[in-house]
Structure 1
C-alpha cells in the first residue's frame, strides 16, 4: 500500500480529529501506522508481500548522513537513519513510507547492543534496512556487507571520503584533530563489536574509551553506510558480484565444517558441537587436533587472564 504525502497527512489529521472525540480511536486495531508504512506485522510472508521500493542512492550522501548520525545516536542509528532518510528524500512512490519509519528505534544497537559487544550496530543496521527493501537480492547484499566488514581494513581514511563526510571531528588529549594517520586501520575478522574494537585498539594503541575510538567508529559507520548503498545499487541493477575474498562462507571454515556444520543428528549419531554460522571460525577458535582436545596456552585461562 502506498500513500502520497497529502493522503498520509489526511489520515493523520483524520485520526487526530477523531481522538478529540474518543481516546478509543487509538486502540491497536484502528491505528493507521501499519497501513501507512506498508510493512505489516504478521511475520515473514506478510513482510515479503509489502516490501518498500529501493531506488538508487548516492553512497557519498548516505555516508555523510551516517557520519553525522553517529554523534547523535551511535553506529546502528547512524547507518539505518542515513539510508532511510535518504530514501525518504528521493520523492519516489514509497518516500512517505520511509519517512514514517521511526529511526530512533535503532539506537539500542550501539556498542554491540547497549554495550554488550555483540553484533556491530553498523552491520545490524544494514541488515535491518535491507530486510524491508524490494527489488534486490537481500541475502546477497547482507552477505556482501558482513564479509566486507569482517575482511576489509577500516576505516578507509582517503581524502575524498574524509572531505565529503566532514571528518575528522574528534580531538586527542592535546587538542589535535585525530587524522587518519593517528586513527590507522585494522581488520575486524568478525562482525562482533568487541572483536572489531579490540583489534583496532591493539593496532592503533589507543584505549577503547579514548576519543580516537569514537572517531574511528564514526568513520566505520560512514563506510558501512557507503558500502551498503554501493551493494544495493549493484543489486538493483543485477550487477552485484561476490569478490572471492568476500564470499558468503569463509574459506577458513572448510576444515571446521567437517564436524561442526548444522546437522539433524540425534544422540546415537552425534559427533561434535554443531555450529550454524557463516562467520569466520578461527578469529576466536584456534584449529585443534581432534584426537587431543583443546589444550595449549589457553587451557586453564579465563578472559580476565589477559583482558582486564
Structure 2
C-alpha cells in the first residue's frame, strides 16, 4: 500500500484537531479516509514471533522535528507520551509504505508512563517510550539503539540547554503554561546526571543540583526538555542504525567487574556463589563496591524516608 506525504499529513492534522482543548490526544486515533485499504496497525497480537514478522519499516526522521513535537507533547500527556507521540507521529508523516500503519497507532496508550509509571518513580517514561517505539521498527538494530539511548540517559548531563536546541524546540515555555506569573531562566533549570534509568533517581539528582523540589513548576520544564532531548537522541541513533553507522556506548564499562561474579547464570544451588544480576543498569549508582560497604552511612528506617524526601 502506497501513501503520499499529503495523505499522511492529512491524517495527522485530523488527529491533532481532535486534541484541541484536551490534556492529551484523543483516544480515537485510528486510520481515516486519508489511509485507504487496510487501516489496522499491522503488528498483530501473537507474541514476539508474530511481532518479528510484522515490523513497521523505519524511515529517516529529522531529530529536531521529533524533539520539538516531543517537547510540546509533554505538556499534553507527560514524558512517555511526549517521546512516543513524537516518534510515531513523525513516522506517520513520512509518506512511506507504512505511514498509515503508524498513523493507526493510538499514542494515548503511552500516557501511563509519566512520572515513572503513574508516580511510582520507576523507569523514566522517556526511555519507556523510546523502547516501545523502537520495538516495532524494522530495518534497525533494536537492541543496539535501545542500549545506546539508555546509556545516553544514564551518563549525560541533561537537559542540554544550548541556545540552538532551546530555540529549535521552543523552550523554555512561557510561564503562562504554569500559571505562576514568574519568569524562568535556563540557568535556574540547570543540569544534572541521572546515573540511572529510574525516574526517581534522575529527578532527585536534578532536585539536588538545582535546589528546586520535585513538585516545583521548574521541574516540569526540566522534564519537558529532557523529553525533547531523549526524543532527539532516539531519532539520531535510529537514523544511524538504519545507515549502519551507529557507534554508541551500550553499557557502563565499570559494570564489567561486577559481571565477573554477578552475571546471569544457570547455576544450581550447590554451585551458587552469589546473587545473579539481570540488568544492564549502571551498578555503582545504587551499589558500592564490597570494599566500601562498611563505610556506608546508616540511614533511618525505610519508613522514615518521606520525612525528608517527600
Q: CA deviation at 1:89?
A: 1.0
Q: Please tell me whether the aligned partners of residues 66 and 222 of structure 1 are also in contact (alpha carbons under 8 angstroms).
A: yes
Q: CA deviation at 1:307?
A: 3.2
Q: Which of 124, 129, 133 does residue 128 from structure 2 map onto?
A: 124
Q: Please tell me whether the aligned partners of residues 39 and 101 of structure 2 are also in contact (alpha carbons under 8 angstroms).
A: no
Check 1:34–1:204 CA distance in 2 against 1; reply closer, same or farther (3 A cut): farther
Q: Which of 170, 190, 197 does residue 191 from structure 1 map onto?
A: 197
Task: Please give the secondary structure, in 2, of the residue aligned with 1:262.
Answer: coil
- CA–CA distance in structure 2, aligned partners of residues 207 and 249 of structure 1: 30
Q: CA deviation at 1:35?
A: 7.3
Q: Which of 21, 40, 43 does residue 39 from structure 1 map onto?
A: 43
Cα deviation, 1:264-302, whole Å, max 9, x if unaligned, reads 111111111110111100101111239xxx444444644
Match of 1:27 in 2: none
Match of 1:275 in 2: 277
The TM-score, its normalising length taken from structure 2, stands at: 0.83
Q: CA deviation at 1:170?
A: 5.2
The TM-score, its normalising length taken from structure 1, stands at: 0.84
Match of 1:83 in 2: 87
Q: CA deviation at 1:34?
A: 9.3
Q: Does 1:71 align with 2:75?
A: yes
Q: Which of 255, 260, 263 does residue 261 from structure 1 map onto?
A: 263
Check 1:85–1:300 CA distance in 2 against 1; reply closer, same or farther (3 A cut): closer
Q: CA deviation at 1:90?
A: 1.3
Q: Which of 168, 180, 188 does residue 182 from structure 1 map onto?
A: 188
- CA–CA distance in structure 1, aligned partners of residues 296 and 291 of structure 2: 14
Task: Please give the secondary structure, in 1, of the residue aligned with 2:40.
Answer: helix
- CA–CA distance in structure 1, aligned partners of residues 145 and 113 of structure 2: 20
- CA–CA distance in structure 2, aligned partners of residues 134 and 297 of structure 1: 46
Q: Please tell me whether the aligned partners of residues 53 and 135 of structure 1 are also in contact (alpha carbons under 8 angstroms).
A: yes
Q: CA deviation at 1:175?
A: 3.1
Q: How many positions carry a matched residue from both structures?
A: 275
Q: Which of 230, 248, 251 does residue 249 from structure 1 map onto?
A: 251
- CA–CA distance in structure 1, aligned partners of residues 270 and 118 of structure 2: 41
- CA–CA distance in structure 2, aligned partners of residues 145 and 285 of structure 1: 22
Task: Please give the secondary structure, in 2, of the residue aligned with 1:140.
Answer: helix
Q: CA deviation at 1:53?
A: 0.9
Q: Does 1:232 align with 2:234?
A: no
- CA–CA distance in structure 1, aligned partners of residues 174 and 214 of structure 2: 14
- CA–CA distance in structure 2, aligned partners of residues 240 and 114 of structure 1: 33
- Point out 4+ residue stretches in structure 1 off by more than 4 angstroms: 2-6
- CA–CA distance in structure 2, aligned partners of residues 226 and 289 of structure 1: 40
- CA–CA distance in structure 1, aligned partners of residues 260 and 146 of structure 2: 25
Q: CA deviation at 1:144?
A: 0.5
Match of 2:211 in 1: 205
Q: Please tell me whether the aligned partners of residues 34 and 40 of structure 1 are also in contact (alpha carbons under 8 angstroms).
A: no
Match of 2:146 in 1: 142
Task: Please give the secondary structure, in 2, of the residue aligned with 1:289.
Answer: helix
Q: Please tell me whether the aligned partners of residues 2 and 96 of structure 2 are also in contact (alpha carbons under 8 angstroms).
A: no
- CA–CA distance in structure 2, aligned partners of residues 301 and 201 of structure 1: 21
Q: CA deviation at 1:177?
A: 3.1
Check 1:154–1:43 CA distance in 2 against 1; reply closer, same or farther (3 A cut): same
CA RMSD of aligned residues (A): 2.3
Check 1:273–1:52 CA distance in 2 against 1; reply closer, same or farther (3 A cut): same
Largest Rg, 1 or 2: 1
